[in-house]
Amino acid sequence: MTTEQPPVEQFQIGEVAERTGLSIRTIRHYEEVGLVVPSSRSTGRFRLYSPQDVARLRTLRHMKPLGFPLEEMRTLMEAMDTIAAGRASTSAGEDAHEVVRRFHGVMTERVRQAREHLTRAEEFAVELEDRLRG
């Protein structure tokens, strides 16, 4: 038996890019605007991302098609961090709840709209096929 801790998983930016489907430049940009700051750096100056960092980047990736500005995404992420920190009954906690609530509403509506657009786009694809056979 050993007291050795399992090594915490850390990912370099290239691997994070592969895992999330985001470009390296996009990941760096998200750091520039304060969206996802890598939880550590190597002895050199390489960014090292934790599994949680990667999960957050995945979420951002899936939300991209909904077209929220990065500034708004940052507001949302901060609100969620506040809630996760268990400060629900503080005034910051209440504000955070309100932010998340509003965001949830807008998001649900945009998902609905996006689905409609996709359906139309698909109809257009069928039209393309028809013309090819036409």
Partner DNA sequence: TTGCTCCTCACGTCACGTGAGGTGGC
Question: What HEC string does 13-57 produce?
Answer: HHHHHHHHCCCHHHHHHHHHCCCCCCCEECCCCCEEECHHHHHHH
Among 19, 29, 64, 87, binds a second copy (CB under 8 A): 64
Q: 81 φ, ψ to 5°?
A: -65, -40
Task: Using the minimum distance from each CB to a second copy, give the nearer residue, 1 or 128.
Answer: 128
Among 65, 71, 72, 94, binds a second copy (CB under 8 A): 65
Distance between first and last Cα of the chain:
73
Task: Using the minimum distance from each CB to a second copy, give the nearer residue, 48 or 83.
Answer: 83
Among 10, 12, 59, 75, binds a second copy (CB under 8 A): 59
Nearest-approach distance from CB 100 to a second copy, in angstroms: 5
